[in-house]
């Protein structure tokens, strides 16, 4: 909503937004899945507005979503060192954020909004709910989470500076880094590699965890992924070892 809808319509009356406006918005979003997700979010707002009699119709109703296909991209062991090196071309901030995703297995959006205030004693604590004053959006599943920062991760954080407050991966004007997906596309183009996304780095981490012999419950705990509530009962025991394994692969 903030990225694709409000910049277009933030100053308009809701009732003046039409189906062609919705279609134009979707056409301007490159990633089909993101366009579909934005359509769903906008539709939910208009559905609520119609229920409250603020508008008479939902302009999203009946608009077809983009056709998508399931894809699961995992970097091969031989690709990891290539991508690791190519991240340098993405710039210090974006490249470091992408390395952080690969080493920690956390969600790209949460890594992008990582705050120094949430780091203490070797741990990164991710509040489940939003913290508007800090620009923290909360975790995807609303569950608070704690991540052990292994030595390779701490080296990345040290390279980003030692400020006591603010976003770790700060872009222009101190805001959270954006367009990590664009950076990944550029890296793939440079390497002549199959398309990969920031989330595929998280998936690569997860595959490495299971490849080391750890079960799904432990993986869920490390990546803050809820599956039947089981993950909440598992101790986070494997991340440090997994990070070291990924570093070995890139070497």
Which pLDDT value is given to residue 83?
95
Contacts for 122 with CB less than 8 Å, ≥ 6 apart: 148, 149, 154
| Whole-number percent of the chain with pLDDT over 90 | 61
* pLDDT mean across residues, the chain: 87
pTM above 0.85, yes or no: no
Q: Could you give phi then psi for residue 125, rounded to 5 degrees?
A: -100, 125
Query: Domain-by-domain residue ranges, the chain?
Result: 1-69, 79-250
Instruction: Using DSSP, state whether 147 is helix, strand or coil.
Output: strand
The sheet carrying 145-148 orders its strands as 119-120, 123-126, 145-148
The answer to whether the beta carbons of residues 166 and 198 sit under 8 Å apart is no
Pairwise CA distance, residues 250 & 98, whole Å: 14
Residue 20 has pLDDT above 90, yes or no: yes
Express each pLDDT in 183-231 by its tens digit.
999 999 999 888 899 999 999 999 888 888 888 888 888 999 876 433 3
Report the residue count for the chain: 251
Express each pLDDT in 104-150 by its tens digit.
999 999 999 999 999 999 999 999 999 999 999 999 999 999 999 99
The answer to whether the beta carbons of residues 202 and 246 sit under 8 Å apart is no
Specify the CATH number of the domain 79-250.
1.10.443.10
Span 88-114, average pLDDT: 96
Tell me whether residue 126 is exposed, middle or buried, using C-beta atoms within 10 angstroms of its C-beta: 0 to 12, 13 to 18, 19 or more.
Answer: buried
Which pLDDT value is given to residue 82?
94
- Residue 71: band (very low, low, confident or very high) from pLDDT cuts 50, 70, 90: low
Residue 236 has pLDDT above 50, yes or no: no
């Amino acid at each position: 909503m903030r990225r694709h809808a409000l910049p277009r319509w933030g100053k308009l009356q809701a009732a003046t937004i039409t189906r062609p406006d919705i279609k134009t918005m979707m056409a301007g979003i490159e990633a089909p899945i993101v366009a579909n997700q934005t359509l769903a979010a906008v539709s939910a707002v208009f559905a609520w507005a119609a229920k409250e009699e603020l508008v008479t119709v939902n302009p999203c109703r009946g608009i077809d979503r983009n056709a998508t296909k399931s894809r699961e991209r995992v970097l091969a062991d031989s690709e990891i060192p290539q991508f690791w090196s190519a991240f340098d071309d993405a710039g210090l901030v974006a490249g470091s954020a992408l390395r952080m995703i690969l080493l920690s297995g956390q969600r790209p959006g949460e890594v992008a909004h990582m705050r120094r205030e949430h780091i203490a004693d070797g741990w990164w604590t991710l509040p489940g709910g939003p913290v508007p004053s800090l620009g923290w959006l909360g975790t995807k599943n609303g569950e608070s989470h704690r991540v052990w920062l292994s030595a390779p991760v701490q080296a990345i954080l040290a390279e980003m500076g030692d400020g006591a407050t603010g976003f770790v991966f700060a872009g222009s004007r101190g805001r959270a880094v954006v367009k990590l997906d664009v950076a990944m596309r550029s890296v793939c183009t440079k390497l002549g590699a199959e398309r990969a996304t920031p989330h595929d780095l998280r998936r690569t981490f997860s595959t490495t965890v299971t490849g080391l012999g750890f079960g799904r419950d432990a993986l869920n705990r490390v990546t803050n992924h809820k599956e039947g509530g089981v993950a909440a009962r598992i101790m986070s025991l494997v991340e440090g070892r997994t990070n070291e394994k990924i570093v070995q692969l890139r070497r």
